[in-house]
Amino acid sequence: MQLGMIGLGRMGGNIVRRLLRGGHSCVVFDTNAASVAQLAQDGATGSQDMADMVAKMPAPRAVWVMLPAGAITEATVTRLGELLQSGDTIIDGGNSNYQDDVRRAQAMASKGIRYIDVGTSGGVWGLDRGYCMMIGGDKPAFDHLEPIFKTLAPGIGTIEKTPGRENRQSTAEHGYLYTGPAGSGHFVKMVHNGIEYGLMQAYGEGLDILKGVNQESIPAERRYDLDLADITELWRRGSVVSSWLLDLSAISLAEDPELKSYSGYVEDSGEGRWTIQAAIEEAVPADVLTAALYTRFRSRKEHTFAEKVLSAMRKQFGGHQEPGKK
């Protein structure tokens, strides 16, 4: 099949490469001409702009947008709505807010343009490992484009079948799933990323406790000089806390045991916030996910005014001095 791709960054470019490897053809565009030229060398057809890309594709067209959520994706989808024809399909494979998908799908439907939202997980490793995809939107469009999703997905691989699923007919075990109407794919991916925040925070806190047991404030007989690189490697093998995130942690600690090349400043890409907003709307307690998000906020600050207030109150009610102050 043929697919248009707008956005040739780390994920967009590798999605194109995986499709090319799978025998599909791709027409690509990016504002960075060098990225277009590189993909053209790999076998894709380059374009000068979106209009040029659309002109090079026979109908019915399918164009995948792989750009950061927000204004740039909004402008790109709007422009594609002006360039494409009835029967064509727009795929948003980035991390857009699911509510934007609902609105865009309705706007495109009035023009006869089909809209699909794809929550895409796999990061920079997806070229070789494949991408886990949560897909919402127009069902006939999904059915038509399923060969694309099947090529991008990891496939069954060596993962054992889950007991009790013998009679279920689903593509889930292949690594892609149609989740329902517009927005549902990005909604599932949003919660997926919220869970990811919590998992990452749990690993981070646990490793921090392991590291901290060797500090001087701990009695000497209970101090342990633990090798975190070896412990994370150990946990990868047969432990109930093994996961791909642990694999990545083990790689990082093997390369840099003290993580000296990192400052600890942690960004959030939006999905964690949206997950908490959804939890509030649904009145679902999400203590762990909320705390993980707030910890990311905290990582970007030096001591806050709020912490100064706490320190001042401790001094007033108990005479407690801050370390280093007399």
User: What gap in Å lies between CA 149 and CA 89, rounded to an integer?
Assistant: 14
Q: Checking DSSP bridges between strand 89-92 and strand 62-65, what pairing results, if any?
A: parallel
Active site residue 196: yes
- CA-CA distance, 200 to 274, in Å (whole number)? 18
User: Cα separation of 316 and 193, whole Å?
Assistant: 42
Name the amino acid, one letter, at 53.
M
Give the whole-angstrom CA distance, residue 11 versus residue 120.
9
d(CA 120, CA 107): 23
The answer to whether residues 64 and 15 touch, using CB atoms and an 8 Å cutoff, is yes
Residue 266, Cβ density class (10 Å: 0-12 exposed, 13-18 middle, ≥19 buried): middle
Question: Long-range contacts for 71-75 (Cβ within 8 Å, ≥24 apart)?
Answer: 73/100, 74/100
Q: Which of 189, 282, 308, 325 is catalytic?
A: 189
The DSSP secondary structure of 189-209, one letter per residue, reads HHHHHHHHHHHHHHHHHHHHH
| 113 in Cβ contact with 90 (< 8 Å) | yes
What length does the chain have?
A: 326
Whether residue 161 lies in the annotated active site: no
- Which residue among 146, 173, 196, 233 is the active-site one? 196
What three-state secondary structure class fits 62?
A: strand
Task: Indicate if the alpha-carbon torsion angle 293, 299, 301, 304 is positive or negative.
Answer: positive
Q: Which residues are catalytic?
A: 189, 196
